[in-house]
Amino acid sequence: MVMAEGVVTPNPAAGAAQPAAVPERPQIVAPSRKNTHGVVSGPVPHILDAATGLTPTLQKFRLDGKVAVVTGGARGLGFNMASALCECGVKAIAILDVLQDYGDDAIALLHHKYGVAAAFYNIDVRDEKAVQDVIASVQQNLGSVDILLCSAGIADSNIKAEEYPIDKFRRLIDINLTGSFICAQAAAQAMIAEGHGGSIIFIASMSGHIVNYPQQQSCYNASKAGVIHLMKSLAAEWAQYGIRCNSISPGYMDTALNRVPALEAQKTIWKSRTPQERLGNVDELNNTAVFLASEASSFMTGSDLVIDGGYCCW
């Protein structure tokens, strides 16, 4: 029989086992602010900002006095994020898009709903001279360039790589990647000249991290991977000027462009491969855009935030 090497026996002199000492109850300061149901309600009054009534933490998400430029902001995700920036206090917003009717409606709605100065510019982000002229106009007529949100882009899907027309490949890269750089460069030049820094936000995609299934879209994936690394490169270069560059990488979103019968079968697959088992709502990038545009993210640059319902986990 194997014997234990050591045995600990009870000490008769010690008597019965004593219960563990109960720690002293910590001091608890009762809340002084209660509603009629006795529940703590609201922040401590003396820490609220006099102008906005917000706590210091929430105040950092405000964009009061800022001017935002949003490309691709006439509809869809771009318009929703533009609305969020207005809701959080920008004094003026410029929408850049190729869709004239949508753009006219967008600025009318933003001005009516939020009381902001709003301007629409019908331009193609590939047109370097036009973009530079627009940024100069924004500076002159709206006061400054503090925030740039690069949301303009296109997608080509279900095209086999071996059959991809080169002209279509070049066009997509030119809009999604080169266009983003053209706009960022023009905005950065203005921010540097104005001397106050700013925030540049790129809309990339989870497609810059993974290969989508089942659709074949090599060019789109490459363009968004390029946007992410462009953002990181610009963040490193422009930090010295107080310019922060970050990006948002959405997953599958429930936009009007995805609400077509031809995509129903693919959408079922997309949802099945997403842990949250759904597409993102069109307003579910808004808070992230506000965070990146505001001082709430003041120590953040060169980061890509993936908002995809968990798709990239699998």
**Residues labelled catalytic:** 205, 220, 224
What is the greatest pairwise CA distance in the chain?
Answer: 94
Sign (positive or negative) of CA dihedral 29, 33, 38, 40: negative
How buried is residue 87: exposed, middle or buried, by Cβ count under 10 Å (0-12/13-18/19+)? Answer: middle
Residue from 200, 180, 196, 244 nearest 68 by CA: 200
What are the DSSP calls for 105-139, one per residue? Answer: HHHHHHHHHH--EEEEEE--TT-HHHHHHHHHHHH
Instruction: Locate the DSSP E strands across the chain.
Output: 67-71, 92-97, 117-122, 147-150, 198-203, 243-250, 304-307
Q: Report whether 150 contacts 180 (CB < 8 A).
A: yes
How far is the C-alpha of 118 from the C-alpha of 180, rounded, in Å? 22
Residue from 119, 107, 207 nearest 155 by CA: 207
Dihedral angle computed from the Cα positions of residues 273, 279, 283 and 286, in that order, rounded to the nearest 10 degrees: 10
